[in-house]
Amino acid sequence: MVEQGEEALRGLGFRQFRVRHHGQIVRIEITREELPRALDPDMTEKFTRIFKALGFTYVTLDLEGFRSGSMNALLPLDQVRRRE
């Protein structure tokens, strides 16, 4: 799924990016220089169509952009838990 998603992003003309697989969620990281183009409503519609066809339920665009090692960054447990 990741490889197919990355190939699709290459086909759309993006140069530096990563597709991150988080179960039903895909997190797309695109270099900050290319984020304005990625945020265009027509482009976000293409992302949604492509990644849902690959089997993801939720399609997200990481607003921090592409960065190495982001798969190793985790939220602290107290931020993940639901507060009642």
What does the pLDDT read at residue 18? 95
Q: Write down the pTM of the prediction.
A: 0.77
Neighbours of 14 (CB within 10 A): 18
What does the pLDDT read at residue 83? 45
* Domains detected in the chain: 2-67 (3.30.70)
What does the pLDDT read at residue 79? 47
Q: What is the pLDDT along the chain (84 residues), one digit of tens a residue?
A: 999 999 999 999 999 999 999 999 999 999 999 999 999 999 999 999 999 999 999 999 999 999 765 554 554 555 445 444
